[in-house]
Amino acid sequence: MATILSYGQQLPDQVDKLAALSDVQLELLADVRDLYRDRVNIEREYAAKLQLLGKKAAEKKAKKIVALVVGNDPTKPAQESTLRESTLDRAYTQLVSSIGEASQDHVNLADSLTTQVVEALRSTEKRHEDAKKREMQHFQKLLSERDKAYNDRLKTKQKYDEQCGEVETYRQKQERSTDDKHADRAAKQFEQQQVDMLNSKNIYLIATAVANRSKDKFYDHDLPALEDQFQLLHTQLLTRLASIVVQAQTLENHYLDAQKSHVSQTEAAFRDLNPTNDLAILIDHNISQFSAPTDWSFEPCATHYDTGDMSVEPAPKVYLQNRLSKCKQKLQDLQPIIASKRQDVEQLSRLVTKYTENNALGNLDEVSDNYLDVQHQLASFTIPENILLTEIATISEALAGDEGAQNPHTFKSSSFSIPTQCAYCKSSIWGLSKQGKTCKACGISVHAKCELKVPANCLASTGARGHTASHSISSNLSRSDSRASTVSSIGTPTPSTFAPPDRASGIAEGHHPTARVIFGFSPTSPYELAVSEGSVVQIVEEDDGSGWVKAMDDSGGKGLVPASYLVPVGPSEAVHSRASPPRGGTEERRQQGSGQYARAIYEYTAQGADELSLNEGQLLELTGGASGGTNYANGWWEGLDSTGQKGIFPSNYVELVP
């Protein structure tokens, strides 16, 4: 039994040569298709021209048989004995010979050949040409992802060098201003520049590790997998070619009893066509030496002495801890998708095997296309997985178990109509272009560039539930206070005082703001969501400054959509767009209650006339409407107690009753 050889293992980094082989195979399909098409015409014009056709076919075969058997530019010369070992050569030779012998064919055979051979070859040629294009597009994408990692490393290296130069500049300034009144400021600037330089160094080291792992993944996994996919396409093309030609010979056998012996010989030759054997010959004549590129290492700046160790000083360590937390969260979201895709690959692989063994099961081409598409999707997902795993491993090794408080802030992009102090650098944040971020839990605000520099010690995510609820209320009040248009300065403030005038403008618990799509959008990656012009979506996550928002459509599908493609709509418009409920019914249901209940899990004393006091275990019915119940305000719900009194209460002091 012949050993099954693998392109990926035996022919490393030869995608272009394999693609060229695909082109030659497609030319073979075109040649055979032209052969039968011409034969049909010749059959209609009588058998005299069949001899001419056989001659043309033999000439084409002579020109291409070497490329078909051993490929273009083989590393080992092909001998005549090598061609004779090829089952494809033997089958093709028999095919050409049979044409000259089948000189008594007629119109019925010509009709049969047209419908069952020529068109089948045309369809096969088109499918394999499209498949080859998809493989090359995937190859270019893999190259692009690899080169991106390479370029990111170079960019971070350049940034690191620039930061090192800045450190030296600030050091000189500090030395010159020793006795100056600005000495303290110069010292602080020098210290901050050192931190920035160390952060740049860490980013450069991370990018170097990512580039190395991307390189390893490209040459050890992605490239061999792609070449094996080419091997699958080559095998299927030759198998399909053999099947079609066998069918042609069967038709000849039916209509040309006098030529049955010649037809049987051709049929046997194509039945004996063994792609495994022929591709083994190809591999044997194209083996060449290959060495994978070596790993990159840390390159110190020419103007700054440094080592290749990650900096774990206090400020850089905070950045690393936050980056590690983000990487772990992204990896946690990504791994279930990858596991699902791997399961799909395994299932489709088994289907391809079964369909190959038994054509009666269904369309092998469709199953094979699905199998290759899923493999491409899996490869696309494993690229960011490889990057995340590399970053996690690199940072974890540097931190040596010190991952910080692990109580991360829930920062969201915010606009600041009044100057607000950054909790990290203490400078002002001001503007409507979302230059800053606010923690939704504890209320601190920072510049976008300072987000990862803040320790992960959010007070709202620590302690017991009672403490968390209490702290969350104060945080919500303080945040609402900064956004409200007017605030009472007399007496104890109540939540209604701090609630925004337009309650639908924020993301309340259990409710998302709505937006209308003004331009249709088609996704270009698995992370994006397809939306149509005029449809209404819910905003799950607002624009963080990247120009994208995470949206959810009516069917529950979630994904990224360009923020500029959406315009916000009011609750009434959004409700009308989805269901168009009867007029007047919303306010009536709000006054009577929504039928949804909440149970108090902590005691709470009302702080104003518009609030309800809560006793642990107390049952309340939530009001209805677009601005009632869970939609009242961020952190506050509206409901009715057992006496029918309506009021608001902290949402984190209650839980919904199923």
Is residue 491 left, alpha or beta, with left meaning phi > 0 and alpha meaning psi from -120 to 50?
left
Q: Quick check: helix, strand or coil at residue 552?
A: strand
As a whole-number percent, the residues of the chain with pLDDT over 90 amount to: 21
**With 50 as the cut, is the pLDDT of residue 495 above it?**
no
* pLDDT tens sequence across 233-267: 999 999 999 999 999 988 887 887 877 788 888 88
Alpha-carbon gap, residue 279 to 285, rounded angstroms: 10
The pLDDT of residue 488 is 32
Closest CA to 292 of 386, 200, 223: 223
Beta pairing partners, 414: 436
- Burial (CB count within 10 angstroms: exposed 0-12, middle 13-18, buried 19+), residue 184: exposed
* pLDDT tens sequence across 38-88: 888 877 787 788 788 888 898 898 888 888 888 888 888 878 888 888 999
Alpha-carbon gap, residue 566 to 61, rounded angstroms: 60
Edge-first strand order for the sheet with 636-640 is 646-650, 636-640, 619-622, 597-600, 654-656
Confidence of residue 149 (pLDDT cuts 50, 70, 90): very high
Confidence of residue 572 (pLDDT cuts 50, 70, 90): very low
- Distance, first Cα to last Cα, the chain: 64
CA distances from 572 to 86, 507, 580, 625, 627 (A): 74, 16, 9, 10, 10
- The single-letter code of the amino acid at 349 is S
Structure tokens at 106: 């007629």
* pLDDT tens sequence across 162-217: 999 999 988 888 777 766 677 788 888 888 988 999 999 999 999 999 999 999 99
Closest CA to 550 of 535, 565, 563, 567: 563
CA distances from 375 to 141, 148, 264 (A): 14, 21, 40
- DSSP-derived letter for residue 501 is S
The pLDDT of residue 591 is 47
Alpha-carbon gap, residue 316 to 309, rounded angstroms: 13
SS3 content of the chain, % helix, strand, coil (to 5): 60, 10, 30
The pLDDT of residue 483 is 32
CA distances from 293 to 6, 298, 391 (A): 22, 16, 21
Alpha-carbon gap, residue 615 to 65, rounded angstroms: 89
**CB neighbour list of residue 463: distance below 8 Å, 6 or more residues apart:** 471
Beta pairing partners, 548: 562
Alpha-carbon gap, residue 508 to 512, rounded angstroms: 7
Most confident of 345-349, 443-447, 506-510, 604-608: 345-349
Confidence of residue 505 (pLDDT cuts 50, 70, 90): very low
CA torsion angle 30 35 36 40 (round to 10):
130
The pLDDT of residue 132 is 92
The DSSP H or E segment spanning 558 is: strand 558-562
* pLDDT tens sequence across 400-435: 888 776 778 888 877 776 778 888 888 888 765 556
Confidence of residue 464 (pLDDT cuts 50, 70, 90): very low
Confidence of residue 20 (pLDDT cuts 50, 70, 90): very high
Confidence of residue 461 (pLDDT cuts 50, 70, 90): low
The pLDDT of residue 198 is 92
CA distances from 388 to 89, 297, 542 (A): 49, 19, 24
Confidence of residue 471 (pLDDT cuts 50, 70, 90): very low
**With 80 as the cut, is the pLDDT of residue 586 above it?**
no
276 or 362, which is more confident: 276
Q: 71 with 20: CB under 8 angstroms? A: yes
Global pTM value: 0.47
Alpha-carbon gap, residue 619 to 615, rounded angstroms: 9
Residue with tokens 């051709």: 266
Kindly report the CA angle at 47 between 43 and 48, in degrees rounded to 5?
125
Question: What integer best gives the mean pLDDT of the chain?
Answer: 80
Mean per-residue pLDDT, 101-111: 77
Confidence of residue 581 (pLDDT cuts 50, 70, 90): very low
- The single-letter code of the amino acid at 324 is L
Structure tokens at 373: 């598409």
588-617 residues labelled b (16+ CB within 10 A) or e (exposed): ebbeebbebbbebbeebeeeeeebbebeee
Alpha-carbon gap, residue 255 to 114, rounded angstroms: 14
Kindly report the CA angle at 490 between 484 and 491, in degrees rounded to 5?
105
- The single-letter code of the amino acid at 347 is Q
Alpha-carbon gap, residue 177 to 615, rounded angstroms: 64
The pLDDT of residue 502 is 37
**With 70 as the cut, is the pLDDT of residue 594 above it?**
yes
Alpha-carbon gap, residue 562 to 523, rounded angstroms: 10
Q: 57 with 38: CB under 8 angstroms? A: no
List the single range of 30-44, 125-139, 218-232 with lowest mean pLDDT: 30-44
Confidence of residue 2 (pLDDT cuts 50, 70, 90): low
List the single range of 87-96, 204-213, 567-576 with lowest mean pLDDT: 567-576
DSSP output for 28-45: HHHHHHHHHHHHHHHHHT
Domains and CATH numbers, the chain: 7-139+238-284 (no CATH), 465-485+493-500+586-658 (2.30.30.40), 504-578 (2.30.30.40)
Structure tokens at 230: 């080419």
606-609 LR contacts (CB < 8 Å, sep 24+):
606/647, 607/492, 607/493, 607/494, 607/495, 608/492, 608/493, 608/494, 608/495, 608/496, 608/497, 609/494
Confidence of residue 576 (pLDDT cuts 50, 70, 90): very low
Closest CA to 214 of 319, 293, 332: 293
Mean per-residue pLDDT, 565-571: 75
Q: 504 with 571: CB under 8 angstroms? A: yes
Confidence of residue 224 (pLDDT cuts 50, 70, 90): very high
The pLDDT of residue 410 is 80
List the single range of 395-409, 459-473, 505-519 with lowest mean pLDDT: 459-473
